[in-house]
Amino acid sequence: MITLNHVYKYVNQGGTRVFLLRDINLSIAQGEFISIMGPSGSGKTTLLNVIGMLDEADEGDYLFLDQNVKAMKEKQRSALYKQHIGFVFQAYHLIDELTVYENIETPLLYKNYKSSERSAMVCEMLDKFNMVAKKDLFPHQLSGGQQQLVGIARAIVSKPTLLLADEPTGNLNSAQGQEIMELFKKLNSEGLTIIQVTHSEKNAAYGSRTIHLSDGRIEN
């Protein structure tokens, strides 16, 4: 599903070139549960952003579902990731002015689903995560774990093929974190491809494969 060939990403600081990603070669098949691990500054988040098409590689190829992402225009690219990719952040990043229901609904609005369809899909999510009673609450009224659940619900409500998670349990305590990881496992078994970035060995163990990054390079 995903292939990265000789991907480089760098920034120019003064006269020197600082590499964020060095010669990344990676292949990910559909249905896998990948964990990306590495110390701080190793480029994990950058790699995730490149895969998620939020950022661009400076050199190399990126093939997503056999399509060359780098060669695509902005419009095509955003259409692609809108359709296939959901993102979960460490800081949840919910829209504070919207309720739980509205937060989950928003991506469906951007995809122009009809009102009745939206209603069905959101309710399904709320049910699945046992959040029906909380649908009219605002993010600041929820605990960290609950907010992350909303973030995940929002990411998968439009049924993406790929879920990217950047340290999803980073701001949670161990009990909440475990709950999230169990959920990921379940989603993966239902067919969702998941790539997560994590610090924790314990979390990484939930995955089918682990990739280690160091200084922008894949270690093996």
Partner 1 sequence: MLRNYIITAIRNLWRNKFFSFINIFGLSIGISCCMLIFLYAKDELSFDHFHEKKHQIYRIVAEIRSPDGKVNKESSTGMAQAPRFEANLPEIEDAVRMELTDFHVRQGSEVIEQSALFVDDRFFSFFSFPLLYGDPKTALQDPHSVVLSEDLALRYFGKTDVLGKTLQLKAGEDFEPFVVSAVVKNLPANSSIKADLFASMKLQEARQGGNLFWMNFYLNTFVTLREGTDLQKTEAAMNRVYNREAAAQISDMAKHYGYNEKVSYHLQPLLKMHLDTDYPTENGVVSGSNPLYSYILMGITGIILLIACINFINLTVARSLKRAKEIGIRKVIGGQRKSLVMQFLGESMILSLFGFVLAIALTCALLPLFNSLSDKALSFSYLLDVRLVLAYIALFLLTSFLAGFYPALVLSAFKPVETLYGKFRFTGKNYLSRGLIVFQFSLTTFLIVATVIVYSQFNYLLGFDLGYEHGRVMRVKTPKMDASQLEVLKNELLKSPSIQTLTAQNGGQWRTIAHVNGDVEQQFDIRGVSGNYFSFFGIPVVMGRNFSAAFPSDSLNSVVVNESFVKAAGWKNPIGETVDFFYENRKCTVIGVIRDYHYSSLLEKVSPQLFSMNPELKYKQVYLKFREGSRPEAIEHARAVVRKLYPAQPYQYDFLDDLIAENYSREAKWKQIISFAAILTIFISCIGLFGLASLSAEKRAKEIGIRKVLGASVSAIMRNTTLDFLLLVLVAACIALPLAWMAGNAWLQNYPYRISLHPFIFVGAALAVVFFALMTVSYQAVKAARSNPVKNLRTE
> Can you give the binding site for partner 1, defined by CB under 8 A?
45, 49, 54-55, 75, 78, 82, 87, 89-91, 93-98, 102, 105-107, 109-111, 154-155
Pairing of strands 209-214, 33-37: parallel
CA distances from 41 to 5, 75, 146, 206 (A): 22, 31, 29, 23
Secondary structure class of 123 (helix, strand, coil): helix
Closer Cβ to partner 1, 151 or 207, answer by number: 151
Angle between helices 100-110 and 144-156 (to 10 degrees): 20
Q: How far is the CB of 2 from partner 1 (least distance, A)?
A: 18
Q: Report how far residue 220's alpha carbon sits from residue 213's, in angstroms, rounded to the nearest whole number.
A: 9
Q: How far is the CB of 158 from partner 1 (least distance, A)?
A: 8
Q: How far is the CB of 74 from partner 1 (least distance, A)?
A: 9
Q: How far is the CB of 5 from partner 1 (least distance, A)?
A: 22
Closer Cβ to partner 1, 8 or 89, answer by number: 89
Burial class (CB in 10 A: 0-12, 13-18, 19+), 101: buried
CA distances from 197 to 148, 207, 209 (A): 15, 11, 12
Closer Cβ to partner 1, 134 or 154, answer by number: 154
Q: How far is the CB of 209 from partner 1 (least distance, A)?
A: 25
- Of the candidates 187, 182, 190, 143, the residue with the CA atom closest to the CA atom of residue 164: 187
Closer Cβ to partner 1, 4 or 206, answer by number: 4
Closer Cβ to partner 1, 82 or 128, answer by number: 82
